[in-house]
Amino acid sequence: MNERTFRRIQRLARVLKLACTACLILMPAFFIYAIAIGLAGEPALQREYADYVLPPVIPLWTLILVRLIQAVSVLLIFYVLWQMRGLFGLYLDGETISDRCATRIRRCGQGLIYIGLAGVLSNTLIVLLLTMVNETGPQTLVITFSQGDIGFFLGGGLIVVIGWVMGEAARIAEDNRGFV
Amino acid sequence: MEIVVRLDVMLALRKMKSRELSARIGISEQNLSLLKSGKVKGIRFETLAKICEVLECQPGDLLEAVAKDPAAR
């Protein structure tokens, strides 16, 4: 790798690592703020799922369960951000083609696939949970694939494959180091 | 069979220091030391050709195939 490319990687990695760190700090702060101003309460949930026939009063346990299901996706986003931060940290330290980088890339991809999967499953579960307590209205089972979910699946799959290729490249680079 | 590197012998015959050879062929002293001790997986033809050129010898003067020591197995 030539010096110019190496410097470019390090420059970009520094910015991206900072961005990931900022997201990791700001996201929990945003969620705490959202809960504090009541955006996680029942009226907000009624608004979020206004397309479905919901009971007039959502029980507290359902509300908590719905928010916990939604929290899974948020935790997965944290996981991917953490892995990305680690990867950019390695790039910043000058480690570009190594098994550690490949592992981080693979984990990012896997995380994105899980986010896509959680997006599909959580919506199904949440709508089922909300309509299950419906006494007057129908109970609904929905399976939705949004463009975002498909994007996460494809993007995540692509990154996992790149991670495997990087692992192989790291192995070859290590092998080459044994030659003089 | 295993390949043994006889570079130290050739360097002694040519009365040349490792440092000088490494500078003339453009590889690090550390890598040359690894090559001399046989602690490398292989040698590139390019490196071999440069060593042969500087030491005015043939690849066969630098490398030797010897039977493996049964006790070492």
Contacts of A35 by beta carbon, 8 Å cutoff, 6+ apart: none
**Res A10 pLDDT > 60:** yes
Contacts of A175 in chain B (CB under 8 A): 41
Mean pLDDT over residues A55-74, rounded? 88
Q: Predicted confidence band at A59 (pLDDT cuts at 50, 70, 90)? A: confident
Q: Predicted confidence band at A146 (pLDDT cuts at 50, 70, 90)? A: confident
Provide the 10 A C-beta neighbour count for residue A164.
Answer: 13
**Res B21 pLDDT > 80:** yes
How far is A176 from chain B, CA to nearest CA, in Å?
A: 9
Task: List all residues of chain B from 28 to 57 with a beta carbon under 8 Å from chain A.
Answer: 31-32, 34-35, 40-44, 47
Beta carbons of A179 and B32 less than 8 Å apart: no
The structural domains of chain B, ordered by start, are 2-72 (1.10.260.40)
Question: How far, in Å, CA of A14 to CA of B73, rounded?
Answer: 50
Nearest to A120 by CA among A145, A102, A103: A145
Q: Is B25 on the interface with A (CB under 8 A)?
A: no
Model pTM? 0.77
Provide the 10 A C-beta neighbour count for residue A74.
Answer: 15
For residues A133 and A53, the answer to whether their CB atoms sit within 8 Å is: no
Contacts of B27 in chain A (CB under 8 A): 180
DSSP per residue over A78-98, as a string?
Answer: HHHHHHHHHHHHHHHTT--SS
Residue A12's identity, in one-letter code, is L
Q: What is the largest CA-CA distance in chain A?
A: 78
ipTM of the complex: 0.72
Among the partner residues A175, A178, A180, nearest to B27 by beta-carbon distance? A180
Q: What is the pLDDT of residue A55?
A: 80
